[in-house]
Structure 1
Amino acid sequence: MDFVAEFLAQNRAFGDTVAVIDEAASVPTCPGWTVKQLFRHVGRGNLWAAQMVAERATAPADPAKVPGGRPPGDPEGDRAWLDAGARLLVDAVNEVLTEDGPEAMVWTFWGPRPAPWWIRRRLHELLVHRADAAAAGGFDFEARPELAADCIDEWLDSAVRMVPDLPFRVHLHATDYPGEMGEWMIGGGTWTHTHGTAELGLRGPVRDLLLVVTGRRPVAETDIEVFGDESLLPTWRAGMKF
């Protein structure tokens, strides 16, 4: 997957979605947020990541102090601000790769990682927040199976760290993304692409699995089938937040 191209495409898609929604509309999947706040959060997040990559940061920057961290406040200016922030991150990563090589590290939530780590992180941040924007606008949310599956991978890399002592296993099976890459076994602070038996199983379209894993939609509002002990769902879903 070309993560840079996907990142820029998702940034455009997020901007397109937000552009046709009232900025004062509430975001049901992000309680307490308006579309305006969601937009600022996403755009500032890109600038925040770009700043840390450009500075080869060894500690997190303060998001509230990111240069240019507020959109101008008019539709054309806001869109240009969003697009420019995404481009700044891509340019910062390319600069690090050119000047320092692929092994150059920058700060991330989980310790030093190569600079391109931030492209994939922001790609999937955008994908999930596009789902939030779609919910605010009453639109359907779609994502290619390959992209949705990689988003689950990336989300689980972080989320399983939040529940290292999960006392049961969870198996996810994507019905529209065949092979081991469409199966996830979760438990014990880790996950693998493995088929097997678990105390709790979820089977359905990979887009629906993504929305459930990221807490964007309850299982009852998807085409997911649940197997095993359904009473474990609330505990598992609460642990998937990060």
Structure 2
Amino acid sequence: MEWLSPARYAAELATETARFAEAASASPADRVVPTCPEWTVRDLVTHVGTGHRYASLIIKTDQMQPYELIAAPQDQVSWPSWLAEGARELNATVEERGFHTQVWTWQPKHLIAGFWLRRMVHDLVVHRFDAAGDGELAPDLAADGVADLLGSFEMFDRLAGDGETLQFIAPDADRAWHVTRAKEGIEWREARAPADVALTAPARELVLILNRRLPSPPVEGDQAVWEAWREGSRF
């Protein structure tokens, strides 16, 4: 499938950062985040702000870097400006290097600077939901998030299988993805095809379900195949 445009990702990074910052700043800093209970809101802000700066560093140096958390400011009032600074740095770095310039990434199919911008946008979408518990999301952006997530799942050895198949359908975006759990890992393509189990939902709900942020609705087909996928796709 085709990605969104570089300009769209840049705009969404700025927009989603502002939305996330607003939601996080309105919550008590030490509140436990229900959708990722190992983190407080402050931890969530630290994760997002660190991610943008880490991605910028990798793009600038074109090599893997040690991941070290950069603590969010103690003063919660400073969170929006600190988060915005990280987002601006990432956008500026991608623009300077070039979206399609080859850089190191952990996904060998996408060794370009734009990979990091796209990944951070979709990471933000999920964490904005963590912070706010709700929020709108354009169907095309949500559908792109499904594809991005499946690309991440390619790296999960525990999702290897014996040929089990899954179909994910987002009618509002007119998109569908067919996944096979092969012995070497998952293989997926954008298509409608027979599958052992199928999950149909609006694109926004689908990407949040696959990110384990919303409970799963009833699926069509083999429930055991779906439950095995849910268990194997934990981050």
Q: TM-score of the superposition, structure 1-length normalised?
A: 0.85
Aligned position for 1:73: 74
Partner amino acid, structure 2, of 1:183 = A
Partner amino acid, structure 1, of 2:187 = T
What secondary structure is seen at the aligned counterpart in 1 of 2:195? coil
> Are residues 1:51 and 2:44 paired?
no
8 A contact 1:199–1:228 mirrored in 2: yes
> Are residues 1:147 and 2:144 paired?
no
Q: Distance in 1 between matches of 2:162 and 2:85?
A: 41
Matching of residues 171-186 of structure 1 within 5 Å: 171-178=167-174, 182-186=175-179
Q: Distance in 2 between matches of 1:210 and 1:126?
A: 13
Q: What's the offset of the Cα at 1:232?
A: 2.1
- The ranges of structure 1 where at least 4 consecutive aligned residues each deviate by more than 3 angstroms after the TM superposition are none
Aligned position for 2:66: 62
Root mean square deviation, CA, Å: 1.8
- Of 199, 202, 205, 1:202 maps to 199
8 A contact 1:172–1:184 mirrored in 2: yes
8 A contact 1:175–1:205 mirrored in 2: yes
Q: Distance in 2 between matches of 1:169 and 1:141?
A: 31
Aligned position for 2:104: 107
Change (3 A) 1:11 1:166: farther
8 A contact 2:25–2:77 mirrored in 1: no
8 A contact 1:159–1:241 mirrored in 2: no
Identical amino acids, percent of aligned pairs:
32
Q: Distance in 2 between matches of 1:198 and 1:143?
A: 28
Aligned position for 2:211: 214
Q: Distance in 1 between matches of 2:213 and 2:220?
A: 20
Aligned position for 2:21: 15
Provide structure 2 residue ranges, at least 5 long, that are not aligned to the other structure.
none
What secondary structure is seen at the aligned counterpart in 2 of 1:191? strand
Q: TM-score of the superposition, structure 2-length normalised?
A: 0.88
Q: What's the offset of the Cα at 1:103?
A: 5.3
What secondary structure is seen at the aligned counterpart in 1 of 2:219? strand
Aligned position for 2:39: 33
Partner amino acid, structure 2, of 1:206 = A
